Structure 1
Amino acid sequence: MTSPPSLRTFVKEHLLDEEGRVPAVIGRDSADVITPDRTLRDAALALLTVPGPDDADLARKLLASLREFTDPDLPGFRELLDVTGAPHPIGDVRTPSVQALAAWALHRAGTLTGDDTLLTEAGNHLERVVEAVLGHDWPARLDRSASVALDESGPLEETAVLILAADALTPGTGSAFLDAAAERIDRYVHGDAVWDRLTPRGVPDTLRGHRAGPAALAALAWAALHRRGRAGAAERARRALVHVHDHHLHVGTGGYWDRSSADSVVRVDAVAALHGHPDSPFPAKFVADHALLALAARTVAGLDDPDGEDGPVLKALAQEAEAELERNTDPVAGGVFHGQGSWFSTPVDPTVPLARHVMVPPRTTGSFAVGNTTYVPFHGKHARTQLLALAVLGDRVVAPRTAPELVERPQPDPFDNDLGHVTTGRLSEGLIDIEHYLRWLRSTASGLGYGLTPYRSPLGLRSDRTAQTFSVLHVVSDLLALDEPVPNTPGVLAGVFATQNPDGGFGEQPALPSETFTTYCAVLTAIVLGGADHPDFDRDACVAFLRSCQRPEGGFGNAPGFPCDAWHSHLATLTLVALGARPEREDDLVAYLLACRNPDGGYGNRPGSPSDTFATFRAIGALIALGLRPPHSGETVRWLRGLQTEAGGFRYRTDGAESFVGSYHAIGGLYMLGALPADTEACVRWITVRQSADGGFSRAPGAPSETTDEGFIAVQALHMLEGKLNRSWAVMMT
């Protein structure tokens, strides 16, 4: 396989247009622009990172693009232009850090082109920004005239970027502003960590906790202050980065979470998301943060004490951050993806891998809305991410990883893929109130499909009943398992096939990006409803899309080029098998899945990751669907059974929390291997007490019902625990 282009080449050929303009977000390449609007921040970053020392012509082109943001009526720059180049009203603001970046970009353009007037202009612009910042006590955002503070909170990022810009534009040691900024940034110190934000009263905003990206920027700012003789700055920089490494590292898959709470724990925080500054309650791993962490760790490690106590930690941080950049590099098209995340299906632990960041604020760059929920697909390529990563990777070409060696192919075990029947009998009387559940389930009907909940416009973190391919699969599966007819099957199929995109994949809703995950949901729904030969279904394009999601390592990602794991490898495999197709590089896929196996008998989501029930279920399910017998299955059964708690549920991994979703995967993994939990009766009780008063199911007893996912888990798992679910159904309808 050929290597991808260097990131610099990708940026020049796919991110920048002929005029040097930068769209906010593209898909895999320039043929798929997701967010064509342009931001001042991206235009400034392009000037700061793309041109080399001999690229004066490119610098002039990027400067002309930056000039398009010039406000003709007031000093400074507008911050958002729409696709036509017209100023967008919400860009009529002055964000100090963004305006400072523009000044810094002007200065770099002047340096590259030898134009001293640009250097003067840059200095004058930064001076106006500094005057506004000091005059309004370090606000987060000002109005267009810079006379009214629109947001009086104090983000750490604002102070850090202002320090870096001022350091670049004011050579020498003397700067009254930098002295004031040094005092300001020290106020963010919180033990070994740094607060992400100060309130308008100037005290720490504990709801926001700590953030990895701003901490990296702060470390870079302290490194600049250290070079200017600021006492203690180098130590603060080191401590901030060590805190990120010690508290944000994701042990299972590598990389660093974007946040930790005030007590330095990575967790879901609905209160902070809803009542602090708007944000997703779910932590994620952003590639842009890793670029900043790599830059900061490199820089700080090179200060006065490179061989000191923190030296090895800073080296490890830089290596891990760069490794995350490389993991998220598209091995064919080039460029870097936005990041990765996980769903927290336990009270605190990140469990189910996701290729989207959910419940983000409206109008988040590159986001899509599904009912009352907004999400960002991680397989977008954001301009900010490309440009920050460019500062780390430069012209280096990231070599694609290779598939593990397939030492011994598993024994064949023919798989019949018979989805013609679901169960061998009804659930025992009295386990759950089936009629009550069916009323709840039917009330999720929405248009031609089904939503995650029956609620039209709920508050809090609840999803609404807007139709989604994910929930359609759940509802159809449960109706068929309970021997109930699926109303308006032609309409359901029409709704499903409306979500197929020209690339052959399916999205969550019509016109939303294709994903392996949503393609699986749509295709399996269609097949069990008899729609495999539907005239609106482009089967060949669907197979081609899925095959394009296989990575050089052998596994599949959620989109072409996106990092692979056992989870998405399983979904792609099942969809191909359901369509009567196979992966193009089947041996590489099998080798990848077997490389996820650990000595304890379980499987991790990636090779080297600790075993968990999710990945174990996915890996063995994919092998079975391929017609192979998972090796050493007795060890896998013992490991899964060992996770059962006295209450009857399962921990999702040996040292993890008890998890409702994780328990389903443990039960399903055992069932596919011809086994049941050690204490089946306790497991049945553990599930049945989770039926809520409205008929749905929840992850905790006595709690309000959650989504069709929890209902699916309960109904399918109970059928398995009673030995009544068709094994092929258990393998394929997950």
Structure 2
Amino acid sequence: MTNKEKVIYATQQNMDNTEWDKNFGGLFSSFKSDNRILGREKFLYDQVLGLLSQVELKNKTQIKIYSKYVKQWLKDGINSSLIKEEYGTNIDMGLFKDSEIWYEIAVMLKYCSIRLSDEEFNNIADQISEDIEKYLYVPKMQSYKSKVSSDFRMSIDGMLNNTTTIVAALFMYLKYKKHQNNRNLNKLLSRANQIHDLMTNDRFFISKVNLDGSLNMHSKITLKGQCLMILLFYLVGKTTKNHIFISISNDIASYTDQQFWDKKYHGYFSFIDADEKITIHKEYVALLTEKTPAKLSFDNALMLFTLNFIKWNVFSKKQEQRFNNALNYFMSLYDDKNAGFFIGEGYFWAAPGIPVGPFLRSVAPTPETPGVFNLGTKKFLNFYYKFPKSQLMSLIALNSIPYRFFMAHKEDQESKTEADNFSFADINYHPLHEKKVNLTKFLNVSKHLEWINNSYTPYQTFGWTPYEAPLNIKSDKTSSVFGAQHALANLLILGGKIPYKDEMANWIRNTQSQSGAFCETPGGPEDVLDTYLSIDALSMLGKLNIINQEKCIEYLQSCQNSDGGFGINPGYKSDMFHSNLALVALYLLDAHPLSDKKLIDYTLSTQQYDGGFAEYYIGTSDTYSCFRAVSTFNIYGLKVPSVDHLINFLQNCQNSDGGFAQDSEGTSSLIATYHAVASLFMLHSTLKDTDGCLMFLSKCQTPDGGISNIPGKNTGTIDEGFAGIQSLAILTNQLDQGFVALNS
């Protein structure tokens, strides 16, 4: 684990030297993975949290800087905008009154006023609290309106925010600590009892509900809300010497630890559903709500701070071990190359809600989320970006945790490979030779070729689908390297015409950034996935000579971590997905990782007891990771250890409908089927039921000619088309192993 003081120092330096605006003051809203400024807006919440962090770190110089800036911002109290432009002008969106955010600001200011003996901050906090109580509190529901218009008259989202009730109680606690009288104490105890009544089974509460108290799709149990409730009951219990409140706090902490913990990959999820489960609902996708549970560094830092504050982490050896695991996970989100903590991580999710990973994007960010980029009709937030609030909460948490918890280092695993030098095998890959497979027995090939061609934009390249303006977050035909690589691979083996090769290659070349990496579209976010897709597409076009190969190789090599694996960008944690993609891209560029030996060791470390491979060195086997591992071994010409067990695992992932799941318990999908079929092919093995699989694949073609992830859908995406075509070509013995190992 990285040294505590080193991480705090590097993160603080990053905040002071990079994230703080030296011209106009204030923290910018978002940063790229290498700490370049991404969003130049400024959020009041970040500035106040920054003040709180410096108070906790006892950094007198920075306290003065933050204090002056925050006081200037808040000269109009709650009528100030929560968001400002770089130069200090208000952003209208920030004029809406968000009760949770404003009350949290009041709590932080109240706390700082006590620690700093600053009466001005105390008065500002009191006034904010009075305004919220006057305009947003709903006595009948014992809760607060979630978000209202700038004049307080109209509810914007039609919801109550129960988390605000917790935050308000914390404010009452601080008010009592400043003025310890019976009136303040009785108010605090009354509110604590109200919150206790609000809870379900003394364990959790629902964050947001409709104005009448009914649930909606935003009704979640949030990690942040749970942490604030744990802190509240603990503080009230300690202050009043009431062991019942302390017991409630400990029970909530244990429940939260159990329910939010990712049992597969570790870390705490930032929210779970109202039914106490983690599920992906189709309705969430259709209505653009948060649907994919993620593990955010801010929330994990807050959880660590909370558990340490109430001393939950020293109650038993079991709890101390869980805390150590949680701290190890949290530190895996630290960027040890550029400093700072990434926003977090998410996963690919498959029914019935099993994480596969890694999917490092939020696909439904709210309008006020900083750092969002657009790809056609879709919006994304990359989790490998950085937020100031993640850094600040991390500073507070790390500063509070005793040093002894940082002494438990993960032992370096002994190398499982005997050789020191490795060369690539000749896998007989000739991307310019058309394969021309015949799949007319299983698909309407001409209709699928038409579907691909309709996704093409002249003089650019292919998109995810042929549609220009689909509803919701359905993918469209906006040109992307993702569309280019998958479309080219299918056109190459189906014998379809590839239009305007030179123009397409030039468009892809224009997605290369100054770092040498490639972006999904020109000027977009850059990462290993888009770099692989671009290199592979240019390889299939015979145009690798038009790019800056040296810079690209440097970028890819910089993504290799000390454990030997590769992350999505330099400094991000390793996973099998990006490790394999980086290797393939380097292979196509006739280059090697900085350490072949370490990459092979990392790959071996992800092999599980059943012979399969997982996304990380902890986890369970899945077909996606098996493919990545087998492809890696094929490129090096190495034998896969425990190959019989691996084959058995893959074969057992086939279901009665002929398709494959990600594991032996999941439901069938086209993507999982492709990875299993391709893996078995590279292992010179067969399926248990080839005819059944061919039937499953045939059923995945959609009425518009596309291919979908499961049978019965109206349309699919270009990568699903790739998975279908490649799987059919493999099963009919019309594809060579080199093509399979390098194209995915």
Tell me the TM-score normalised to structure 1 length.
0.91
Aligned residue identity for 2:386: K
SS of corresponding position for 1:342: coil
Aligned with 1:437 (options 437, 445, 448): 448
Aligned counterpart for 1:41 among listed residues 41, 45, 61: 45
Contact map agreement 1:444 1:451 (CA 8 A) in 2: yes
- What secondary structure is seen at the aligned counterpart in 2 of 1:138? strand
- Distance in 2 (CA, whole Å) between partners of 1:423 and 1:249 is 49
Kept in 2, the 8 Å contact 1:470–1:521? The answer is yes
2:584 counterpart SS class: helix
User: Does residue 138 of structure 1 match 2:165?
Assistant: no
Deviates most, 58-67 or 361-370: 361-370
1:297–1:317 CA contact under 8 A, matched in 2: no
Rounded Cα–Cα distance in structure 2 between residues aligned with 1:465 and 1:225 = 56
**Paired residue for 1:164?**
170
Q: 1:283 aligned to 2:298?
A: no
1:103 and 2:106 equivalent?
Answer: yes
Residue-by-residue CA offset, 1:527-574 (whole Å, 9 max, x unaligned): 11011111xx11111111111111111100001111111111001110
Inter-CA distance 502–434: structure 2 relative to 1 (3 Å threshold): same
Q: For residues 23-80 of structure 1, what are the alpha-carbon distances to aligned partners after superposition, in whole Å with 9 as ceiling and x for unaligned? A: 11112354x01112111111111111123464333211101221242254x7553211
Assess if the C-alpha contact under 8 Å between 1:69 and 1:81 holds in 2: no
Greater shift in the superposed pair: 694-703 or 566-575: 694-703
Greater displacement, 74-83 / 326-335: 74-83
Q: 1:8 aligns with which of 12, 29, 32?
A: 12
User: Could you tell me which residue of structure 2 aligns to residue 332 of structure 1?
Assistant: 337
Q: How does 1:505-584 map to 2 (within 5 A)?
A: 505-534=517-546, 537-584=547-594
Report the Cα distance in structure 2 between the residues aligned to 1:393 and 1:109, rounded to whole angstroms.
Answer: 19
Question: Quick one: which of 374, 389, 398 aligns to 2:394?
Answer: 389
Provide the C-alpha distance between the structure 2 equivalents of 1:570 and 1:157, rounded to a whole number of angstroms. Answer: 42
Q: Give the letter for the 1:657 counterpart.
A: T
Correspondence 1:210 to 2:221: yes
Q: Of the candidates 490, 503, 508, which is equivalent to residue 502 of structure 2?
A: 490
The alignment covers a number of residue pairs equal to 723
1:562 maps to amino acid: Y
TM-superposition CA deviations, 1:255-276 (whole Å, max 9, x none)? 122332232221112424655x
Q: Deviations over 1:191-245 (max 9, x none)?
A: 3432121221134446523222322222223323333447854444344443433
Selected match of 1:341 from 346, 350, 354: 346
Q: After superposing the two structures, state which structure 1 stretch, 208-217 or 435-444, moved more.
A: 208-217
CA contact (8 A) 1:697 1:707 kept: yes
Q: Deviations over 1:570-613 (max 9, x none)?
A: 01110011101100122111111111112321111111321111
Q: Which moves more between the two structures, 472-481 or 148-157? A: 148-157
SS in 2 for 1:557: coil
Match of 1:88 in 2: 91
1:27 aligns with 2:37: no
Contact residue 345 and residue 660 of structure 1 kept, 8 A: no
How many Å apart are 1:463 and its aligned residue? Answer: 1.3
Deviations 1:374-407 (A, max 9, x none): 1111111111111111121129897997763323
Deviates more, 1:167-176 or 1:212-221: 167-176
2:726 paired with 1:716: yes
Shift, 1:157, TM fit: 2.7
Contact 2:305 2:397 in 1 (8 A): yes
**2:231 — aligned with what?**
220
Q: Report the Cα offset of residue 495 of structure 1.
A: 1.9
Which residues of 2 match residues 392-411 of structure 1 at below 5 A? 392-394=397-399, 404-409=413-418
The answer to which of 220-229 and 380-389 deviates more is 220-229
Aligned-partner residue type, residue 131 of structure 2:
R
The gaps in structure 1 that reach 5 residues or longer are: none
Structure 1 residue 189: Cα displacement: 1.8
The one-letter amino acid of 1:57's match is T
Q: Is the 8 A contact 2:432 2:540 kept in 1?
A: no
SS at match of 2:544: coil
Amino acid aligned to 1:208: S
* Matches for 1:114-125 after TM superposition, within 5 Å: 114-125=117-128
Q: Indicate the percent of aligned positions where both proteins have the same amino acid.
A: 22
Distance verdict in 2 for CA 1:128–1:620, change over 3 Å: same
Contact 2:439 2:729 in 1 (8 A): no
- Mapped to 1, the partners of 2:426 and 2:368 lie a distance apart of 46
Bigger drift between 58-67 and 554-563 goes to 58-67
Match of 2:615 among 605, 608, 614: 605
Match of 1:473 in 2: 485
Q: State the partner residue of 1:293.
A: 303
In structure 1, the residue matched to 2:210 is 199
Q: CA deviation at 1:177?
A: 4.8
Asked if 2 retains the 8 angstrom alpha-carbon contact of 1:337 and 1:380, the reply is yes
Query: What's the counterpart of residue 475 of structure 2?
Result: 463
Q: Which secondary structure state, in structure 2, belongs to the residue aligned with residue 597 of structure 1?
A: coil
Q: Distance in 1 between matches of 2:57 and 2:517?
A: 43
Q: Deviations over 1:110-157 (max 9, x none)?
A: 445444444344334433333333368611123334455434522233
Other-structure match for 1:51: 55
Moved more, 322-331 or 515-524: 322-331
Greater displacement, 703-712 / 205-214: 205-214
> 1:593 is matched with which residue?
603
* CA distance in 1: counterparts of 2:351 and 2:116, whole angstroms: 55
> Structure 1: how far apart are the matches of 2:470 and 2:704?
15
Between the aligned partners of 2:554 and 2:742, the Cα distance in structure 1 is: 20
- The whole-number CA distance in structure 2 between the counterparts of 1:465 and 1:402 is 48
User: Per-residue displacement from partner, 1:284-331 (whole Å, max 9, x unpaired)?
Assistant: 11111111222222334459xx75xxx677545543432221010111
More moved, 380-389 vs 642-651: 642-651
Q: Over aligned residues, Cα RMSD in angstroms?
A: 2.9
Looking at structure 2, the residues matched to 446 and 241 of structure 1 have their Cα atoms a distance apart, in angstroms, of 53
Which stretches in structure 2 are left out of the alignment for 5+ residues?
A: none
How far residue 16 of structure 1 moved from its aligned partner, in angstroms, is 3.0
Shift of the 519–184 alpha-carbon distance from structure 1 to 2, 3 Å rule, reads farther
Larger CA deviation: 512-521 vs 488-497: 488-497
Aligned ranges 1:239-388 → 2 under 5 Å: 239-272=251-284, 275=287, 279-301=289-311, 307=315, 315=320, 318-388=323-393
Tell me the SS of whatever aligns to 1:449. Answer: coil
Structure 1 pair 315/187, CA: closer, same or farther in 2 (3 Å)? farther
Query: How far, CA to CA, are the matches of 1:115 and 1:546 in structure 2?
Result: 50
Task: Report the secondary structure of 1:445's partner residue.
Answer: coil
SS in 1 for 2:379: strand
The one-letter code matched in structure 2 to 1:554 is G
